Amino acid sequence: MFPAASLLMTLLLALSIAGSAVEVRNSPITLPIARRLNTSGGTINLLQRDKAHVAALKNRSTTSHKLGLAALPQPVNNLIVDTGSSNTWVGATTPYVKTSTSVNTGQPVVVGYGSGFFSGTEYTDTVTLGNGLNITKQSIGVASTSSGFTGVDGILGIGPLDLTQDTLTNDLSGTIPTVTQNLHSQGIISEMVIGVSFEPTTSLTVTNGELTFGGTDATKYTGSIAYTPLTTTEPASTYWGINESITYGSTTILSTTAGIVDTGTTLIYIATDAFTKYQSATGATVDATTGLLLVSSTQYSALKNLNFNIGSKTYSLTPNGQIWPRSLNTYLGGSSSAIYLVVYDIGSPSGEGFDFINGYAFLERFYSVYDTTNSRIGFATTSYTDATTN
């Protein structure tokens, strides 16, 4: 899932006939990802849209969150890369054009995303990622109606398979093979592993990320990758869910509990009781304009590390990593000189099985690996973990 008109991580994709495209097999495939702050409608209420996204994730029993991928034979399509959903669809902005490999399955698709939706029809087609990486007979949703997707064409879903359930309205119990699964089953990659890299940025639009199918890119992280098993606690287990505890400095604000890792969530969300402790410890107040936590320069200077204890490793978010890029404040309607925190209340107390979301603000400081083959997630530090660019 994702904040439909706020921070978008987009990947350039094209849907086309295979033709003379290069065939790549059994080796990792790397594609660039661009971060784009969508301000086409003026300043954005990032928090409002992000919270709607979080609510949809938490209430999957009543709100589906899937993606689809549709595109044209020639034009490139901008898709949101989302670990919180698993379908692929297109057609939100650029119309889908049938190819010689297009097959209309006749299955209707209707998906809600909290702050947007799409409805349409399922097709299978040959999907091309980047320059010539072909996936044949890939299920894609072709949107006939959509809302909340200004400036993007759809979604590339890289979440767990079970998130494809309830996508097809005539087959609510069935699942749909994901892009990652088809890459593996067609022998293009040897493992169902995805590596994701982001770099902190202060620009509205910048190619600051990388998506690697079938492995990891050692040039994007420092040290070694440490893995932790996927959580078995519901509802976090529906997604890329893990167990972790969080300390602010040396003070525990969230005991070991279950939550998720999600590229489509902009901020970092923690259970209400943990958020209350964090706000008190930082001295932050709620900003009336943006809704985000606000700290003074003096309070910022006194901030301590926010530590995410995952497995046997601790990943420390520095004070600079806890704040929104100040050069982008005005796009939120905020003051250019203000200091806003990127940690917010998830809206429910701890112990409910969905007690945190490590969103984009976390992931731009750490390399992450989504390993379906071994049911685990990995993290590593990067050269940007301690960056002071915000």
The catalytic residue positions are 82, 262
**Please, are residues 82 and 33 in contact by the beta-carbon 8 Å criterion?**
no
What is the separation, in whole angstroms, between the first and last Cα of the chain? 25
- DSSP strand pairing (268-270 vs 356-358): antiparallel
- DSSP strand pairing (133-147 vs 88-90): parallel
The full length of the chain comes to 390
Side-chain half-sphere exposure of 60, counting CA atoms within 13 A: 20
- DSSP strand pairing (7-15 vs 193-198): unpaired
**Spatial distance between the Cα atoms of 125 and 352, rounded to a whole number of angstroms:** 40
**CB proximity list for 162: less than 8 A, separation 6 or greater:** 86, 175, 238
DSSP characters over 47-78: HHHHHHHHHHHHTTTTS-----B---SSS-EE
Phi, psi of 89 (to 5 degrees): -150, 160
